[in-house]
Amino acid sequence: MSSSQITAIINTNPAVSACTGLLNGPMFRRFTFRQVAMAGSLLISGGIVLTAFCETFVGYMVAYALLFGFGMGISVSASSLAINTYFQQKRRKAAGFSWTITGLGPIFLPYLVTYLLTVYGVRGTVLLFAAISLHSFVSAMIYQPVRYHVKGRTVEPELLVEQQPTEALCAHCAWQQKREPGGIFSSQYLCQDDDAQRPGYEICEPGTPMLSRANDGWFGSRPSLTSGRLRFRTVSSSKDLEQTQRLHCPISEEHLESDEFLRPNNFRRERVESNLEAKLCCRCSEHRAIAREDNNNKDPEEQPCPDISFLQKVVTFFDLDLLRDFTFVNLVAGLTIINFGELNFSILTPFILADFGFETPQITLAMSLLAGLDITMRFLVPFLTEKIPWDNRVFFLIGVVGIALGRTVVACTRSYTIILCCFVWIGLCKGVRTIFWPLIIPGYVPLNRLPGASGLQLLISGLFTLICGPFVGLVRDRFDYSVTLHCLNMMTFVAAASWTLEALIRRHRRKQRLEDS
């Protein structure tokens, strides 16, 4: 095969893996992450087996690029969702151990492949790796639903008696009740009592998103597609409480006239309003009168659900309404740009060092040093950052900006000693970046929106890589690797500046609202 065909196969594989992210939303609503992981492991193994017997370009495209790429995409998504579902308080440690073990492969497998090639040849080695990949099927069977491991709550006999409906309270009495001991403010978390689908707020240890009551372990990862009620689209952050003025309209009523309004998750606004409500007197009698009047005016017949268009069905099915959220779009754009730069630097590293005039042993030492420190940092980061109350995005930006600074020095020097020092620095920062990479999207969106959000991020990243990948080659052909590195670093700095600018603007607006109130 020609070089262009080989390049097409290599680029199509990650593109297919990323594009499978569009199916995450509907796929994980229909199936559990264990079922998806088992199917993905079978596709991976089958794709590797077929690759061993391929001899044509079309065969490699079907077996390696499509089957293997699709299986890898859904397997990674299932594993990520499983980690974010099982772990709530220790999510950083879980992600750290997961990525540390994953990173051991690039260190030891090259030596194993070299040995197997001398004994079994190319086809035999590929078949052995197909057999090894079947271990993921056994591992996927361990992904039991969370409800299997949640202790059942015993119901006292006196609680079985039908309780009288609670009486509606006015704003003044409701606020006074919240301030009583045992209210929601006496807990570590602020849960949404009126809607189980809304995530609460963690007020002790920022950085770990608080799950909604509907995702407390009893619902697993299989929300129903046939729910009779309308599903409200909300995105919540456990850190930036002012970022929730979005996605609070039901999809089926976006283009219909309706007076119904869903209050967003905004604890800060509730705190400001509570200062006003506390000054009011009790008006429970007026509230009861209004409630009785509303009950008398209600139509006894249930209103039928309004019809929605095909476009609205597509938006609902693929969770495309997430793109209405500016912060989510900014996060996805930043992750996409950063991922593009990291991917190209990883691929071009040996070619860059060879172009600088270094020998193969020197290149091997530099890359091994980078990989070793990367693995070491992956293991240490969860323990080092456990007591630091910073958001996951802050740690992630520290890692990616550090990598970009190290690459900048590499592009400006030809000293092997300085390059080794830069690779040590890049390896340390890469470990930080790798640990917090899978926590950015889960740290912003609630768990019930995570499959769709992760899928959109993977899809956009895959399309961006597939489209912009050739431009890296054009820059290299027109200039040199130093200019290429500077371009990749500039993209990383732009993404970091975008996140930082948004955070500063939101902080300024928050201060203004607090001053006005």
The 10s digit of each residue's pLDDT in 240-270 is: 444 444 444 444 444 444 443 333 333 333 4
Return the structure tokens found at 280: 């009011």
Return the structure tokens found at 45: 């193994």
Amino acid at the residue 299: D
Q: Against a cut of 0.85, is the pTM above it?
A: no
Return the structure tokens found at 319: 């969770």
Q: What's residue 42's pLDDT?
A: 93
Which of the four pLDDT bands, split at 50, 70 and 90, describes residue 404? very high
Q: What's residue 83's pLDDT?
A: 81
As annotated, the residues of the chain forming the CATH 1.20.1250.20 domain(s) are: 1-146
Amino acid at the residue 191: C
Looking at domain 1-146, does it have CATH number 3.30.1600.10?
A: no
Give the DSSP per-residue string, 435-446.
Answer: HHGGGTTTTTS-
Long-range contacts of 147-151 (CB under 8 A, 24+ apart): 147/217, 147/218, 147/219, 147/220, 149/217, 150/216, 150/217, 150/218
Mean pLDDT in residue range 112-120 = 85
Q: In terms of DSSP bridges, do strands 189-190 and 201-202 run parallel, antiparallel, or are they unpaired? A: antiparallel
* Distance in angstroms (rounded) separating the CA atoms of residues 497 and 504: 10
Mean pLDDT in residue range 422-434 = 91
The 10s digit of each residue's pLDDT in 119-128 is: 998 899 999 9
The 10s digit of each residue's pLDDT in 185-219 is: 333 333 333 344 444 333 233 333 333 333 333 33
Specify the residue for token string 């219909």.
Answer: 256
* Distance in angstroms (rounded) separating the CA atoms of residues 192 and 199: 7
Whether residue 254 contacts residue 312, with contact meaning beta carbons closer than 8 Å, is answered with yes
The 10s digit of each residue's pLDDT in 280-320 is: 566 666 667 777 766 666 554 555 556 778 888 777 776 78
Task: Select from 153, 209, 141, 193 the least CA-distant residue to 448.
Answer: 209
What H or E segment, with its residue span, contains residue 287?
helix 284-297
